[in-house]
Amino acid sequence: MSSTDAADDRGTRPDPTGGCPVQRVAMISVHTSPLEQPGQGDAGGMNVYVLESARELGRRGIEVEIFTRRTTAAQPDLVEAAPGVRVRFVDAGPYEGLGKDDLPGQLCAFTAGVMRVLAGLPEGYFDLVHSHYWLSGQVAWLVADRWRLPIVHSMHTMARVKNAQLAADDSPEPPGREIGEEQVVRAASWLVANTASERRELIELYAADPDRVHVVSPGVDLATFTPGDRAAARAELGLGDDEDVLLFVGRIQPLKGPDVLVRAAARLRAARPDRRLVVAVLGAPSGSGLRHPTWLSDLVSELGLDEVVRLLPPVDRPTLAQWYRAADLLAVPSFSESFGLVAVEAAGCATPTVAARVGGLPTAVGDGGVLVDGHDPRVWAETLGALLDDPEARRELGERALRHAQDFGWDRTADQLLELYRTACRQGEQAPHDQPLAGVPTAVIP
C-alpha cells in the first residue's frame, strides 16, 4: 500500500503493541491451490498472494497451514511448501471436472475434511483463520465458530463489483454468490482489502463495518522481478531488437479483456503497416472463456493477426520476468481487477503498464504507466501507439514504475498482516461471528 494512503481511509488501525502473540495460522483457499501455476484454470494473483504472504509469515516464525481442495489423485495429503508453510489437500467431490461455480455444493464436504484435521490437533492449536475468496470464507465461518477462532478474510474479487463491469458476452455472477459474500462480510472479525477502493466497495456494496476493514496491499517478489538486459531478454525469447512488443499476462477470459488488446493491435497494424508489431499473450482459457476455448485465437485469425499475436501458455516466474524486461509495454485491459499484480511485477522490471482505470489498477500502476478510461479499441490503439512511438516517454515511465514497485515488497505485506492478526486474536472474544447474523440466510444458495 502506498504510504500516501490516509489513515482514516484504512479503517481502525490495529494496535501494534496490544496484540496477542500469533504462532499458528490456518489459511483456507478452497477453489485453487497456491501451488498451481498462475494464468490457467482458476489460478491467478490470489495464488501468488496466498503462497508469498505465507512464506513471509513463515520467515517470521509463524507456522501457516493452507487448506485447499485436492484436484488430482497424485496430490498427497500434505506438502511442505516452504519453511513453516504446509499445504493440506482435502477431498471434496471429484478430483477433476469441477469448476469454481460447482464448488458451493462441495463446501460441506470440504468443511468436514478441515474439521477432521483440526479435531486431531490440540485445542488452541491455531490462533486464527485467514480465508481467501468467498467460498473459503464460508468454510472459515463454520470452522471458526466451532473452535472459537477469529476470522480474517480477503475477498480478492466480489460479485457485485464484477457484475457492474461485465465485458460483452460475459456471464454475471449468480445471486447465490452475493448472498454468500454478504454472510462472510458479517461473519469475519476483520476484512482485508487490497486497496482503498476495494475497502470503499466493501462498505458501500456489502455494508461492511468500516472499523473492521483494513487495507493491506499485495506484494511483489522484488528479488525475481528486477530490471535486466532488454536485448538479452529478447534474444532469449526470440524477439527482435527492432520489434514493438506488447505483452498481456493473465487468464484468457472476457473479464481480462485480451480481445481489447487484439483489436487495438489490428488498428495499430492498419495505421502503420510498416510497424514490426508483436503481441505476446501469456495465459490459458479460464472461467467463462472455457465455453469457447478458441475464442481468442479465432479472433486473431479473423483480424489477420496470426503473424503478430503469439498465444503462449503461462510460464514460470523467472521466464515471466524476462518477458516483462523484453516488452515495451504491458497491457492490462481488464474489466474488473481487485488489484492487478502483473502491473507491479512489470514495474519491478522497469516496464510501464497501460491499464484500464478500474478497481485496484490505479493503485497497482501508480505513476509508472497510463490509465485508459473504457475499453474502446480505438482509444487503446491511440494510447499504445503514442507510447510505442515515444521511447523517451516509455523510459521515464519505466523509471517511475521501478520506484513505485519498491513500495510493494511481500515483507511489508506480511508485516501488516501480522499486525492485523495480533489485533484479531486480542479481540477474538468480540468477533462478529460470535453474534447472530440477523437477516442473513443460514445456507448458501448454489
Contact of 160 with 174, CB cutoff 8 Å: no
CA distance 389 to 375: 21
Q: How many CB atoms lie within 10 A of CB 18?
A: 10
Is residue 38 annotated as involved in ligand binding? Answer: yes
> Nearest 5°: phi and psi at 37?
-70, 120
Is residue 46 annotated as involved in ligand binding? Answer: yes
Is residue 345 annotated as involved in ligand binding? Answer: yes
Nearest CA-CA partner of 244 in 265, 229, 261: 265
Is residue 375 annotated as involved in ligand binding? Answer: no
Is residue 251 annotated as involved in ligand binding? Answer: yes
Is residue 327 annotated as involved in ligand binding? Answer: yes
Is residue 140 annotated as involved in ligand binding? Answer: no
Q: Which three cell numbers stand for residue 435?
A: 453474534
Is residue 256 annotated as involved in ligand binding? Answer: yes
DSSP state of 256: G
Q: Which three cell numbers stand for residue 122?
A: 490440540
Is residue 210 annotated as involved in ligand binding? Answer: no
CA distance 327 to 372: 19
CA distance 14 to 385: 46
CA distance 349 to 368: 11
Q: Which three cell numbers stand for residue 145?
A: 465458530
Is residue 421 annotated as involved in ligand binding? Answer: no
- HSE, CB side, 13 Å, CA atoms: give it for residue 408: 29
Is residue 235 annotated as involved in ligand binding? Answer: no
Is residue 146 annotated as involved in ligand binding? Answer: no
Judged by phi (left if over 0) then psi (alpha if -120 to 50, else beta), residue 59 lies in alpha
Q: How many CB atoms lie within 10 A of CB 46?
A: 25
> Nearest 5°: phi and psi at 107?
-65, -35
Is residue 351 annotated as involved in ligand binding? Answer: yes
CA 301 to each of CA 256, 266, 283, 308, 311: distance values in angstroms, whole numbers, following the listed order: 20, 11, 18, 10, 12
Is residue 133 annotated as involved in ligand binding? Answer: yes
Is residue 96 annotated as involved in ligand binding? Answer: no
Is residue 97 annotated as involved in ligand binding? Answer: no
Helices (H), 60-206: 107-119, 134-147, 159-163, 175-187, 196-206
Binding positions for 1D-myo-inositol 3-phosphate are 31, 42-47, 100, 133, 157, 177
Binding positions for Mg(2+) are 324-325, 327, 351
Binding positions for UDP-N-acetyl-alpha-D-glucosamine are 37-38, 45, 251, 256, 315, 337, 345
Binding positions are 31, 37-38, 42-47, 100, 133, 157, 177, 251, 256, 315, 324-325, 327, 337, 345, 351
